[in-house]
Structure 1
Amino acid sequence: MAVSLLANVVLSDLCLGKPALKSLPISATVSDALEALKNSDDNFISVWDCVDRSSKIGFGDGNDGVGDESCRCVGKVCMVDVICHLCKNENSLSPDALKAPVSAILPKIPGLVRHLEPSSSLLEAIDLILQGTQNLVVPIQTKLSCYSKRKQLQKCSTIGPSTTHNGREFCWLTQEDVIRFLLCSIGLFSPIPALSIDTLGIITTDIIAVDYFSSASSALGAISRSLAKQTSVAVVEGEGSLIGEISPLTLARCHETVAAAIMTLSTEDLMAYIDLGGPPEDLVRVVKSRLNEKNLEGMLEEFNTTSGTSSSSSSDEEYSSLSPPRPARYSRTTSYSGRMVRRTETIVCQPKSSLVAVMIKAIAHRVNYVWVIEDDCSLVGLVTFCDILKVFREQLDTRKQKG
Structure 2
Amino acid sequence: MAARLLSHKVADLCLGKPPLKSLSASATIRHALTALKSTDDTHISLWTCNHHHISDQSLINPCRCIGKISMVDIICFLSKEDNITSPSTALNSPVSVLISPDTSVVRHVDPDTCLVDAIDMIINGAQNLVVPISNRTTLSNSKRKQNLHKEFCWLTQEDIIRFLLSSIGLFSPTAAYSVEALGIIDSDILTVNYHAMASTAVEAITTSLADQTSVAVIDDDGILIGEISPLTLSFCDETAAAAIVTLSAGDLMAYIDCGGPPEDILRLVETRLNERNLLGMFEEFGVYSSSSSSDDELLSSPLTMKSGRYSRSSSYSARITRMAEAIVCYPGSSLVAVMIQAIAHRVSYVWVIEEDCSVVGIVRFSGMLEVFREHLESMMS
* Counterpart selection for 2:122 from 123, 129, 135: 129
How much does 1:316 deviate?
A: 6.1
| Cα deviation code 1:127-184 (max 9, x no counterpart) | 000000000000112323889989997xx7xxxxxxxxx9611000000000000000
Residue 248 (structure 1) aligns with:
230
Q: What is the aligned residue count?
A: 372
Q: Pick one of 284, 292, 301 that aligns with 2:274.
A: 292
1:288 positional shift: 1.0
Rounded to whole Å, the distance in 1 between the matches of 2:222 and 2:121 is: 34
Cα shift at 1:20: 0.8
TM-aligned CA distance change 1:313 to 1:70, over 3 Å: farther
Name the SS for the 2:62 alignment partner.
Answer: strand
Listed one character per residue, the Cα deviations across residues 69-117 of structure 1 (whole Å, up to 9, x for unaligned) are 5300000000000001111112111232111111011122221100001
Q: Quote the residue 2:316 is aligned against.
A: 330
Q: Deviations over 1:342-391 (max 9, x none)?
A: x8221111111111110001000000000111111111111000010000
Shift in CA distance, 194/296, structure 1 to aligned 2, threshold 3 Å: same
Q: In the aligned structure 1, how far is the partner of 2:297 from the partner of 2:152?
A: 41
For residues 4-403 of structure 1, the aligned pairs below 5 Å read: 4-50=3-49, 65=57, 69-94=61-86, 95-144=88-137, 168-303=150-285, 305=286, 313-314=293-294, 317-318=297-298, 320-322=301-303, 323=305, 324-326=308-310, 327-328=312-313, 329-331=315-317, 344-401=324-381
* C-alpha separation in 2, matches of 1:282 and 1:230: 31
RMSD of aligned C-alpha atoms? 2.8
Q: Which has the larger radius of gyration?
A: 1
Question: Shift of the alpha carbon at 1:51?
Answer: 9.1
Aligned counterparts of 2:371 and 2:96: Cα–Cα separation in 1:
36
Deviation at residue 65 of structure 1 after TM alignment = 4.8
Deviation for aligned residue 1:297: 2.3
Q: Assess, with a 3 A threshold, how the Cα gap between structure 1 residues 314 and 69 changes in structure 2: closer, same or farther.
A: farther
Report what 1:56 is aligned to: none
- Gap regions ≥5 residues in structure 2: none
CA deviation vs aligned residue, 1:216-261 (integer Å, no higher than 9, x gap): 1111011011011000000011221100000000000111101000
CA contact (8 A) 2:22 2:45 kept: yes
What one-letter code is carried by the residue in structure 1 that aligns with 2:326?
A: T
* Aligned sequence identity (%): 56
Structure 1 residues 376 and 118: CA distance shift in structure 2, 3 A: same
Contact 1:309 1:317 in 2 (8 A): no
Confirm or deny: 8 A CA contact 2:10 2:112 kept in the other structure. yes
Distance 1:222 1:318, change over 3 A: farther
Conserved? CA contact 2:134–2:149, under 8 Å = no
CA distance in 2, matches of 1:332, 1:381: 27
Letter in 2 for 1:280: P
Unaligned 5+ runs, structure 1: 53-58, 157-165
- 2: distance between equivalents of 1:334 and 1:106? 25
What TM-score do the two structures reach when normalised by structure 1? Answer: 0.85
When structure 1 is superposed on structure 2, of 129-138 and 389-398 the one drifting more is: 389-398
Q: 1:178 to 1:281 in 2, by over 3 A?
A: same
Q: Secondary structure of 2:130's partner?
A: strand
- Distance 1:311-1:77 versus aligned 2 partners, 3 A rule: farther
TM-score normalised per structure 2: 0.90
Distance 2:41 2:259 in 1: 20
Rounded to whole Å, the distance in 1 between the matches of 2:141 and 2:190 is 48
CA contact (8 A) 1:146 1:152 kept: no
Indicate how the Cα distance of structure 1 residues 42 and 105 shifts in structure 2: closer, same or farther if over 3 A, else same. same
Identify which range, 192-201 or 316-325, moves more after superposition: 316-325
Equivalents in 2 of 1:90, 1:256: separation in Å? Answer: 16
Contact 2:204 2:215 survives alignment (8 Å): yes
